[in-house]
Amino acid sequence: MAREHYIGIMSGTSLDGVDVVLCEIDSHSCTLIHSIEYPFPSELKAELLSMIAGTCTLEEVGRADHSLGVLFTEAVASLLVSHNIDASTITAIGSHGQTLWHDPVGEYAFSMQLGDPNIISVKTGIPVVADFRRKDVALGGQGAPFAPAFHEFIFNNIKSSVSVVNIGGMANITVLAKNNNENLIGYDTGCGNVLLDMWITKQKGLSYDIDGVWSKSGKINYTLLDTMMTDEYFSLPYPKSTGREKFNEAWLDDMLKATNKGIPLQDVQRTLVELTALSISNEVLKFNSDIVLLCGGGAKNTFLVERIKALMPNVEVSIAQNADELEAMTFAWLAYKRIHKEKVNLKEVTGAKENTILGAIYA
Ligand SMILES: Nc1ncnc2c1ncn2[C@@H]1O[C@H](COP(=O)(O)OP(=O)(O)O)[C@@H](O)[C@H]1O
Ligand SMILES: [Mg+2]
């Protein structure tokens, strides 16, 4: 079958940048052709963070939806212009949208992503596939994580037991069995970088702790670590997914209050690294994987990676190919699946009643 070109747009919970990729896709492969990380305007980031943390008006929600639609359009335009690519060569764009709230459990289960796909489609002239998560939620699923279906697709030639761990704002694991005939397992292990970013921003005004240098200067506070690890999320059985609505400043404040006052600031940062490393390694070790492939921005935090390796000395831990682009590639591929009206193999991961065609087309 012919190979087609798709764009994927991803902006995760970290609000650190808009990842845009151009991929060539067919039923057997998804090849990365180009990628850019388009800067996330700091003003918009601050507005979204305050909307998520507090209360907001319908007008603010509508404006955020518009502003994000414009931002994603600019990000796509930037990729097309910088590589001199004609929009007519792109079959479709898969746009994840910016998650504002993810609460897929209970009577009012929902997952909310903003970034008006109509704007992206009208301004680029390219059909857009968006609203991927809500049908899964309507089918009783978590609506997340979706990366495991893509990991299964692209890592299908690896003949070992592999866990793929994506460390974004949250962290998620995909477990791929050697013989490919077992159910796909994947779920959010808990927080990834979100608390690390929040703490260094609050204390030092930096958006993240480059290579974990600051955290490395601190000591683990085991009382705080143990208190955090007793959070029920870490012992919940899968399917499960999480977001900023849970792992946020208020959560850390509660944990600090429950511990004691006066933990040196750098020790808090160090302990948060251990929380991420431990909550990831605890899950990986449950599945006896031979290999762990790390991806997402957290895979660039050399100290965090060092800690993950130290907690799993018998497992081969390495950085996945295209580690930075895999999430945006997932949404390019999901657009391909939608355009070809193919169901996505996610029900074991999300807990949805059935596998289904995900996403709506805006053209
Ligand atoms: N060199 C680095 N050192 C430490 N942390 C890094 C580095 N590069 C990226 N990160 C972390 O990765 C995060 C972005 O990861 P990303 O996968 O884009 O997450 P999301 O999907 O939530 O947007 C940053 O906010 C930061 O915490
Ligand atoms: Mg990001």
Mean per-residue pLDDT, 58-65: 98
**Model-level pTM?**
0.96
Nearest to 263 by CA among 251, 247, 252, 248: 252
Q: Indicate if 39 and 124 belong to the same structural domain.
A: yes
State how far the Cα of 264 lies from the Cα of 268, in Å rounded to an integer.
Answer: 7
Mean per-residue pLDDT, 71-87: 98
State how far the Cα of 240 lies from the Cα of 250, in Å rounded to an integer.
Answer: 21
- The pLDDT assigned to 2 comes to 76
Q: Indicate if 329 and 204 belong to the same structural domain.
A: no
Long-range CB contact pairs, 255-259, < 8 A, 24+: 255/224, 255/227, 255/228, 256/224, 258/227, 259/221, 259/223, 259/224, 259/227
Q: Indicate if 189 and 166 belong to the same structural domain.
A: yes
Task: Please list all protein residues whose beta carbon sits less than 5 angstroms from ligand 2, which is an ion.
Answer: 12, 14, 16
Instruction: Indicate whether 89 pLDDT > 80.
Output: yes
Instruction: Indicate whether 260 pLDDT > 80.
Output: no
Report helix, strand or coil for 32. Answer: strand
Q: For the chain, what is the domain count?
A: 2
Q: Is the shortest distance between the CB of 13 and ligand 1 below 6 Å?
A: yes
Q: Indicate if 161 and 57 belong to the same structural domain.
A: no
Q: Indicate if 205 and 315 belong to the same structural domain.
A: yes
- The pLDDT assigned to 179 comes to 67
State how far the Cα of 152 lies from the Cα of 66, in Å rounded to an integer.
Answer: 34
Q: Whose CA is nearest to atom 20 of ligand 1?
A: 12
Q: Indicate if 335 and 225 belong to the same structural domain.
A: no
Antiparallel, parallel or unpaired: β 360-362 and 128-130: antiparallel
- The pLDDT assigned to 158 comes to 80
Contacts of 85 (CB under 8 A, 6+ apart): 22, 34, 79
Dump pLDDT digits (tens) for 234-256: 999 999 999 999 999 999 999 99
- Is residue 170 within 8 Å of residue 191, measured between CB atoms? yes
Q: How far is the CA of 40 from the centre of ligand 2 (A)?
A: 9
**Ligand lying closest to the C-alpha of residue 197:** 1
Task: Enumerate the H helices of 31-185 as residue ranges.
Answer: 42-53, 58-82, 117-124, 133-138, 147-154
Ligand 1 atom at minimum distance from 324 CA: 17
- The pLDDT assigned to 208 comes to 98
| % of the chain with per-residue pLDDT over 70 | 99
State how far the Cα of 276 lies from the Cα of 189, in Å rounded to an integer.
Answer: 9
Read off the DSSP letter of residue 123.
H
Ligand 1 atom at minimum distance from 212 CA: 4
Q: Indicate if 134 and 264 belong to the same structural domain.
A: no
Q: How confident is the model at residue 159 (pLDDT cuts 50, 70, 90)?
A: confident
- The pLDDT assigned to 204 comes to 98
Q: Whose CA is nearest to atom 21 of ligand 1?
A: 12
Q: How far is the CA of 209 from the centre of ligand 2 (A)?
A: 15
Q: Indicate if 49 and 156 belong to the same structural domain.
A: no
Report helix, strand or coil for 294. Answer: strand
Pocket test for ligand 1, best of 146, 208, 331 (most atoms within 8 A of CB): 208
Which residue range is the domain that position 177 belongs to? 147-319
Q: What is the CATH number of the domain that holds 50?
A: 3.30.420.40
Q: Indicate if 352 and 270 belong to the same structural domain.
A: no
Mean per-residue pLDDT, 97-101: 97
Q: How confident is the model at residue 54 (pLDDT cuts 50, 70, 90)?
A: confident
Q: Is the shortest distance between the CB of 359 and ligand 1 below 6 Å?
A: no
Pocket test for ligand 1, best of 9, 13, 14 (most atoms within 8 A of CB): 14
- The pLDDT assigned to 156 comes to 85
Task: Give me the chain's average pLDDT, please.
Answer: 96
Dump pLDDT digits (tens) for 169-214: 999 999 998 666 678 999 999 999 999 999 999 999 999 999 999 9
Ligand 1 atom at minimum distance from 15 CA: 23
Q: Indicate if 342 and 269 belong to the same structural domain.
A: no
Q: Indicate if 244 and 345 belong to the same structural domain.
A: no
Q: How confident is the model at residue 1 (pLDDT cuts 50, 70, 90)?
A: low
Q: Indicate if 305 and 209 belong to the same structural domain.
A: yes
Please give the sequence-ordered ranges of beta strands (E in DSSP) within the chain, or none if there are none: 4-10, 17-25, 30-39, 90-95, 98-103, 110-114, 128-130, 162-167, 170-176, 185-191, 291-295, 316-319, 360-362
Mean per-residue pLDDT, 276-298: 96
Please count the residues of the chain: 363
